[in-house]
A = this chain, B = another copy of it.
């Protein structure tokens, strides 16, 4: 629990030592050198640009002061940039950078903090923005108030493409959800927002040319073109490229509602309400399809300033194609063998349209094919092998396999995934250089505007570190978790609601009564992700995500702290928590009475209390009052195994520390 404190002490106490390379920053910088002293941050804090500057930097400096003010709670009137000579933080861009964030631009920065003032030096605005975020993370309250420790940081990213994909089709994500997640992305130096704008369950952009797309394909939940432009500008201001994705030719049910003539089989079509792969696919053989898409892309491409444009291309269901005589005839005529070739043909046609509009095509693994133009970027949901294959064939690629946030895997799992590991290790340096980075993916079958932040954050910060920090510097999982917990709290000041929405969701479940017993239970559980949820019950987009599993987080901080305490046999916190658990079901039970939402987790609550009682008894044994009977130990082991089985789409994570102690008792450790 106290690891962040320990780290701080170690780092700032032992300046100039090797351990100074691990301050409470995420992502970790390339080089960190602690120095003596600190820079006080108080109401007179000010910042100014001393080198090249532009509207983007000036806005960022204003936002930065407001952010530091919010983070510290200190009023800072000098929200407008100060005179350079008097500013406590001077920001020097040495060159005029691009107006838009661009792939591969120089994102490096150097930050020097001394007791007299701080200096941030960067080649371009992009680097300056990153340096400001590093500075913000360094602001901590100390014995004399808020300060930044004296420090020298040199930093640059390992990969140029560090993204977050957000699915806004399966569940609708209003503009404010996108905005706050862009702010959080910037805080951990992610630089690509991949916006999954259409899928079977919703077409989310206003088209004026083809208005039935959003009118019939979105349930009224879509972004106006003004909102799209606003988001692109909002992201630009934060150094983030926006890459739109219109998935085609499959995953297009929502298009076909209003434009069934695009499909390979007669309609009518309706908006998808369930998950999985639908039959509906565009007809790749009709010229009218390309006329439509030409006009459509002609309308959409100017809304986005970034040259990269994602066409999806994943999971095409070939059923309609194989059942259509005309499509089969076309395939024969054009010597296209099977669905695979038909999709390649489709991709080539789209790629030409995109090139006409000045865009570079990006697609999922499936687009890879010998005839694919070399500049196409392949995004891999399958793994490093297909990424390596693409790279060896001259394509650039980005990794998403292993970075699927909606699986609700532990942060440590994502931390262990590297775009250049496994199959990618065998690549030549030139081939390896084609691997541009990766993207965390947030598919939204089981997340909505209320819950999505807690499915993205703080775990996406760990992926951000994997993509930014030198591989060899970012290896310590314990340090990662300690820093992730601290950064999770810093992220609150960006407006993202991964922590804020927890309380109201528990309050809803508690039906207006104090939710404390429910919180104790939720803190002891971990939510399951896509696979288990899909198997648990029949979900549709209309099934409420208001249950216990939706409030519960992917990883439990409480349990992690207890596992650490169990590891070092720190009795006091274990006893305290077990006592609380033991008594919790008696308090939970009245809350759950006549409450449909809580009825399902009654057994879980009973197990938590049983677990608390068991933990207390094990502690008694471990503290040597009497030896644990063998038979009792075996019975408890079985009981723990039973309790570890997921129920109601959650795992009783609290079992884990008790299991550690039970092993200790079995081995006779004291």
Contacts and interface: CB of A to CB of B under 8 A. Distances in A.
Interface stretch (A70-78, A103-111, A628-636, A647-655): A70-78
Contacts of A80: 220
Given A492-B507, A503-B499, A579-B579, A513 B5 contact: yes
Nearest to A593: B5
A557 B513 CA distance: 11
B514 A1 contact: yes
Contact of A507 (B220, B489, B561): B489
A593 B142 CA distance: 9
A590 B503 CA distance: 26
B485 A514 contact: yes
B541 A75 contact: yes
A4 B512 contact: yes
Interface in A11-60: 24, 43
B561 A514 contact: yes
A448 B79 CA distance: 17
Given A4-B513, A75-B541, A77-B219, A595 B504 contact: no
A277 interface: no
A489 B505 CA distance: 10
Q: Please tell me how many copies of the chain the complex holds.
A: 2
- Quick one: which of A77, A493, A511, A597 has the most chain B CB within 10 A? A511
A586 B576 CA distance: 12
Contact of A145 (B72, B448, B490, B596): B596
Contacts of A72: 508, 544, 546
A593 B9 CA distance: 11
B142 A596 contact: yes
Contact of A141 (B144, B500, B545, B596): B596
A117 interface: no
Interface string A118-147: 000000000000000000000011111100
A504 B488 CA distance: 11
A461 to B, nearest CB: 13
A73 B450 contact: yes
Interface in A524-577: 541-542, 544-546, 550, 557, 561, 572-573, 576
A507 B486 CA distance: 10
A125 to B, nearest CB: 24
A226 interface: no
Contacts of A596: 141-145
A583 interface: yes
- Quick one: which of A43, A73, A573, A586 has the most chain B CB within 10 A? A73
Nearest to A544: B74
A410 to B, nearest CB: 18
Nearest to A502: B503
A594 interface: yes
Contacts of A508: 71-73, 141
Nearest to A579: B579
B594 A143 contact: yes
Interface in A135-179: 140-145
A492 B504 contact: yes
A558 to B, nearest CB: 8
B503 A486 contact: no
